[in-house]
A and B are shown apart, each in its own frame.
Chain A
Amino acid sequence: MTDSDQTAALQSKTPLNETPLKTTPLTDLHRELGARLVPFAGYEMPVQFPAGILAEHAHTRDKAGLFDVSHMGQAWLVGPDFETTAAALERLTPSSIAALKPGRQRYTVLLNDAGGIVDDLMVSRPEGEADDGRLFLVVNAARKDVDYETIAAGLPDDVRLEPVTDRALIALQGPMAAEVLAAHAPEAADMAFMAARAMEFDGIAVHVSRSGYTGEDGFELSVPAGAAEPIARALLADERVAPIGLGARDSLRLEAGLCLYGHDIDETTSPVEGAITFVMQKRRREAGDFPGAERILRELEDGPKRLRVGLKLDGRAPAREGAEIRDPDGKPVGVVTSGGFAPTLQAPIAMGYVDPAHAAEGTALVLAVRNRELPATVVPMPFVPQRYYRKPKT
């Protein structure tokens, strides 16, 4: 038996021997915990731990999972004041960065001149006067270099990009994440979803945001590289926490209906096609002052040529990236961009792009898998309800 070339979502396209793989401050710990390490975006990363992907996925949904996401890019955008820095980033994205309040985070996209997505990223505005003029960015590992070039090329003289290379990024995700983290960093407990705050974890200065990419409540902790292992060990010492690999991270984000860059969105897809128009706030849509605005505004008005949809398959056989989507008569109408077995649903799910005529919820389609046609239905996303933390009104 051999492995098909369908692990693209989990493995770098770079051959193992071409360039030495980078490690993260947690690589030794992963090895100690029995991880299976694979090349991913130029890094040696844990795809799974001994418990296996299904158990890790369930653990994250039930308790709390610890993820090493140190391969992702962290960077500061630094200008003379908030308005200047926000305006600089607005020239590259369709989001309202200027409206970002101190201590808040936002999901956005970098656009090319054709309205295609260069990357999706998180941007947060620190609290505190001292950090006025600074925005913190977290970008995808595989897109780091392209992003930094794109951003640097688009900045005015008084704003600069400062990639951060001495910090690790740890995600703690799941319904018990808040309680677990609060034992070490009490301030984390009452943060709202998409809040970002500097605080101490057992006396170590860390940046914490209440966000993640699993559909669960959770946090991402940007920590000094040297403190990553003690912090990870402190969290893992809690019996509610288990180490989780990239395999489960992928199945969790798929169930949550979230896009994986390079698969579900790329330089050819627009935010309208990708069904992430929520990144474009009203002021920016009205102003039309972002790269590729002509195309994007036209798609908003007339509808896109293709649209990302969720698909639920009958039976148990999963459809993977690249599978053709057909109408019930066998006519090609699109292609799967992410697909797999949804552990929470115990059923195969997929997302892909279809002709808008076939994008309505409930539309019956078929997915071509190994010369067979598997029946599927367009369903709303997320596939599994998101459980982000909403602060109770007081």
Chain B
Amino acid sequence: MSVLTRLDTKGSPYLYILPFFVLFGAFGLFPLIYTGYVSFNDWNLLDAGAHHWVGLANYRELLHDPYFWNALGNTLSIWLLSTVPQLLAALWIAHLLNHRLRARTGLRMGVLLPNITSIVAVTIVFTQMFGRDFGMINWLLGLVGAGPVDWQADTWSSHLAISTIVAWRWTGYNALIYLASMQATPHDLYEAAELDGASSTQQFWRITVPSLRPTIIFTAVISTIGGLQIMAEPLLFAGTSTPTGGSDRQFQTAALFMYEQGFREFRFGYASAIAWALCLVIAIFAIANFLLTRRIATDEG
């Protein structure tokens, strides 16, 4: 019996964490690593899964592929346009929510609502609102005397529209994360500042923002990892099911380019090379972002 008990206490913990590691290993980690192997092959699905080793050929092609660089540029542009205003707005909304409020829960739920709806639903609604002829947004622009914009047609306008969709969905979520962090800031800091005659704005920049430093870094890095993988929004914003991101690829992102090469052209090897390249870009940007936000937040403190 004591042998059994010992076995139970020593061995069973591994049994409990096993399902996670087995399933995650098989369907999460293995595919990611195997992507590396596939990327060194000419691997075409239409060819009954036939493949042969081509070494770095896919990567060489990628470096000279203008469509890839175009997609990468679009990704960075959309990411910047959505992330920076989004996090600033989130900070401001969190500051507003950090008052003594009536209907606190209702207001927080209202702010979070965009985030619980699906990307597909959100993008479809916004695509309609950004419509050229009968869209709500062009109508509003008309009211203030601006001409209608063909949102899908140009680079800047399509990037702006897609960034709006992304930012609309994530601002409230980030605001709640900031709010949680604000509420963990000791109250006496503010009371001491109040006694010293610091204005509300001064308190915000001198106390609130520096104390949010770890949270700001967290949201910036998470937004980067998510933002650089954007794919569903530009796919659906085109209004058709073609994954080129507009007639001139003006809003095709890198992840969408990967999807096009993999599941429309069936070039699995090439698409895998794109995946690894994108992974590398995401890693570089996440680290750069981490270092940068850490510096900025320190300077303000």
A and B held together in a complex: no
